Structure 1
């Protein structure tokens, strides 16, 4: 079966080849770059996201406990699917941050083709899980994350902390119920038999739930991360650095360009603020203020006006004026 290549993948390959051929030209290995002059165009469409009310409403309809926890973590912590499944119980510290609790993200789970896995740097792979099917052409692996920025510490919310504690208790019960059949894989997300929950299984559960709830706008699992990042940006008044610390992006520019989705509610609030302030501005020219240490301009008075003023004075004022003139 032929597989259709994504335009973004073609664009990445083109960029890589162009760089390699550029060095070849510079080193006089070839005369010119054997590639089209223009890079393949990539149509970038804004990913559909959910507003915060939709996220909470959707979360409350999920009955599968593993899926509920995974979706909850993606919505609150902006975690990638592989990062969620890559977590281990030792990554949770319920006493840290004055009892709030923290989650250490340092691994990611993914399925890799065995041919590609042989070419992968072994230092990048922490563990390769046993195949569940004989003759499988791919393996489930636990590896280092995409970038150093992906290694991060995240803070729990109280509801998420309670759900994590309940989930750990469920894992203990699963093992006690059938210890002879239980195979502890060491991951936080496990099946009732102790084996790891693979990304494709989590995706399957999510799609089944999505099909049962057409009232919510259809988004992919990764769209939850986009929704979370956008919500965090709104809640932090655009503090990109703080949100970047949560999402694990290498640079804030990636977060701004890819995850800073617009929503109608804040745009409407912005329009209301503009309406309230723009049209109510006072356009009355401000009175000129005297400059500091500047002497007031002398007022010119005619002699006739002085004599008239003296004539209108009473006896005490005239005596005071006389003393001032001869002082």
Structure 2
């Protein structure tokens, strides 16, 4: 079968479009014919050697949607989607024509999502779902989501379903306008020192939960936090270090929750996909738009573009 594969790390030039042997499903596994596979920044970082536990040679790719062609009879012929920490790191991933994984690691694809749409959602939506779950966002939680990227957008949509009070924050005026057009209360980020006043103007006493999807607003988020509030983070500055105003945090009884999608295997991710996937079919979650569908054969070019900061959501199609 055709696949993208790398045998060394450190340079995207190591990624090649090659012929590899067809995978074979073992006991308790499924063989999925890939119809579409999402390309995430973590896939690019994987080839660049940012994950020391990756084993080589390796086919990258975490997110996918496709059809089960081998495995338990109840699953054969079913349209499925999936994601998980194994894929692309210590098991071959989805940037290929076929992939094998645990039969419990696939979820039924929502019928309202195309294969490309489903393949674009795995990492962003499971990350956002985990952030809301672990920071205890429920009905009436006063939530601030910082950042309007894929994870931030997913968090806003999922929090709305939970009945939370939602405030969005973005840097650029056009992003704020877009969020407001979607029906969200939104503020524009500028001076970190102003964030607490901006949030308190909306939530008297601060936000119960602040989800920073950018990695740059943790220090500024602490003064904007309500007593016993939680700050969820998924990113950090390049050097991994940030000055945390610990005195202000503990005086509020606050806590910081680290969100890492690579802590969850395919079976855990499938359970998440099953929980929120039905909301797409019920019309409660927005269907993805503006996807860039690209042939798998052009994957090397797409990897390079994502590495250079392209904001388009790329979906590779075998």
TM-score, structure 1 normalization? 0.19
Give the structure with the higher percent strand.
2
Q: TM-score, normalised by structure 2?
A: 0.19
Q: Higher relative CO (CA 8 A, sep ≥ 6), structure 1 or 2? A: 2
User: Rg larger in 1 or in 2?
Assistant: 1
